[in-house]
Amino acid sequence: MTGETIGGLRVLAEARWPEPGDAAPPTLPGFVHSTFSPVVAAVADRCLTRRHGERPAPEPVAARTAVVLVSAAGDRASADHVRATVAQGGRPGPLFFFQSVPNSVAGHVAARWGLGGPVVCVAPTGDPLAEGTAEAELLCADGDADETLLIMIEQPPGDAGAAGPGEAPGTRAVAVLLGGGDTR
Amino acid sequence: MAERAGVRITGVHALSALGRGADAQLAGVLAGAPAFRPVGRFDTTARRVGVAATLPEAGALPDELAEAVRAACAAARLGPGERAVAPLLLAAHGGAGVPALARELADGCGLAGAPRAYTSACVSASTAVADAAALIARGDVDRVVVAAGYLVEPDQYALFDAGRALATDGAVRPFSAGRRGLLLGDGVAAVVLESAGAARRRGAPTLAEVLGWGRAGDGHHPCQPDPQGRGLARAVGAALRRAGLRPEEIGYVNANATGTGYSDAAEAAALRLAWGEHAGRVPISSTKALHGHALEASGLLELVVTVLATGHGKLPVNAGWLGPDEACPLDVIRDAPRPAATPYALSLNSAFGGANTALLVGAA
């Protein structure tokens, strides 16, 4: 896909999770219980590394790179855990507060790579790539970003991690760095 | 770049603990009495804090959203044919049921579908408004309905309590010395945004113009704002540039300020970074001190309040004030509503992930 144009924007880099050889995603400090955020961070790192090599992303593009996270269901494992804990009259751990919205891991990616564009999380009602690309194109055409890291992720119900030792998790994600379009 | 079309707000509706409907919001914020009360909707005995700004008679979220959309469309005098070509942008807390909620809301209200729901935490609704304005401004659509909803419920309440984000003294004190945190509040709102040309052609009522908007990230931390406010400052700058206005022309800022120590200070720093010394001369208040923090819906509820207050010519107070904080050198509106000196106002929102938005409206 890299080098192709989708939705008026050029694909500058792409990555998937898992790719051949992947097992569980690297642990992400501050995020617990669920593979949702670690997979977002891993696929984002992979995509941005393919484009930029090392962190942080170079200026001036870094300051005008948006992060758009697309997920219909969000972090199911964390939400299910919180719902069950509260239903039983318990207290969720404080880290679940910090990972209660997808913005948190999107902000982690932005901080790690020095990205200063908009941070937008959306749940598509139709095709995730089409909706994510439409959001990226709008941000770029409107002038708040020049490039967009688009991350699409879905976590199957009940998936709090890998199916077994050494196996890839059921949570799957695609990251695409979009930019270079001439839509303005 | 092609010349952008003007964007008008032609209909609004909102629900909060201040009451049901636009008139109740305006009356509530001008009365200046915080609407926090003990939570009766669910058990809070295991929580550190037991108050929130809830509307006791609020119904289920899908029903309240549908009423809000229908009421906003009625206020805008949209007929079935006009609604049928207006897409819905919904802002709500993310989860497996959200796409279906958006689709069913659009179908039930006779709108032209809901392409996506915004789940960007506390900038969800304001991002949806910015996107709607951008779509209209470049001529993609003539009108968009933006709806947003959060009704205080046990899971998010428990999370905010566990994160020690809730004010243990039962009051929200934005920018004030002695502030202890936020309190949650109900918020359901809907707004009809329309191109100036389409609104003019059908003789639509105009409450305000959306003159500018900006979205920018801090690139700083997963959950904490940049203490220098660099992302929010860039969002403010983008909104003023789109509007073609100078800081001196802004008569009111409805702040994001949640009553949280470091984030209110970061917002003050952002305004200083964007406007320099002038930041201390612009009237500002956070109406979260009155209606609480409506999370994903906060940006739309606060936009409605801002539009109504500036249209009425009176700026709401910043309740809960105890005294100045040197980290927030701002012209905070205290004691009584203040006359609006200009028709231009900014509504600011910030969220986890370092996400920031600024919406700039001009009262009709």
Domains of chain B, start order:
7-170+182-201 (3.40.47.10), 212-363 (3.40.47.10)
B206: number of Cβ within 10 Å: 18
Looking at the DSSP bridge assignments, the partners of residue B187 are: B16, B150
Residue A180's pLDDT is 75
pLDDT at B260 over 90: yes
**Cα B178 → chain centroid:** 24
Instruction: Name which of B271, B287, B270 is nearest B279 in CA terms.
Output: B271
CA distance A73 to A130: 17
Topology of domain A5-179, CATH: Peroxisomal Thiolase; Chain A, domain 1 (3.40.47)
Q: What residues 101-160 of chain B have any CB closer than 8 A to a CB of chain A?
A: 102-103, 113-121, 123-124, 127, 131, 134-135, 137-138, 154-156, 158-160
Query: Tokens 């709401």 appear where?
Result: B316
CA distance B171 to B223: 23
Residue A107 has its nearest CB partner, among B114, B134, B353, at: B353
Nearest Cα residue in chain B from A184: B1
Query: Tokens 């050198």 appear where?
Result: B329
CA distance B136 to B54: 34
Residue B119 has its nearest CB partner, among A102, A138, A184, at: A102
CA distance B66 to A169: 38
CB A121 within 8 A of CB A71: yes
CA distance A142 to A29: 35
Residue B364's pLDDT is 87
Q: Mind listing the pLDDT tens digit for each residue in B81-105? A: 999 999 999 999 999 999 999 999 9
Over range B144-152, report the average pLDDT.
98
CA distance B89 to B118: 7
CB B44 within 8 A of CB A86: no
* Residue B306 token pair: 């801002």
Residue B116 has its nearest CB partner, among A98, A116, A131, at: A131
Selected for mutation to probe chain B from A75, A82, A105, A120 (highest B CB count within 10 Å) is A120
Phi and psi for B291 in degrees, rounded to 5?
-105, 5
Residue A166's pLDDT is 56
Q: What is the DSSP string of A86-101?
A: HHTT----HHHHHTSS
User: Residue A129 to residues A113, A118, B100: CA-CA distances in angstroms?
Assistant: 23, 18, 18
User: Residue A44 to residues A13, A148, A176, B139, B207: CA-CA distances in angstroms?
Assistant: 10, 11, 8, 33, 42
ipTM value of the model?
0.97
Q: Which of A24-33, B55-64, B153-162, B240-249 has the lowest mean pLDDT?
A: A24-33
User: What distance in Å separates residue A125's CA from the closest CA in chain B?
Assistant: 5
Query: Tokens 């012209």 appear where?
Result: B331
User: What distance in Å separates residue B216's CA from the closest CA in chain A?
Assistant: 4
Q: HSE on the CB side for B189, CA within 13 Å?
A: 38
Instruction: Name which of B96, B17, B21, B103 is nearest B62 in CA terms.
Output: B103
CA distance B346 to B229: 16
Nearest Cα residue in chain B from A127: B115
Query: Tokens 């700058």 appear where?
Result: B237
CB spacing of A119 vs B165 below 8 angstroms: no
CA distance A143 to A150: 17
CB spacing of B218 vs A107 below 8 angstroms: yes
pLDDT at A155 over 60: yes
3-state DSSP assignment of residue B181 = coil
- Full-model pTM: 0.97
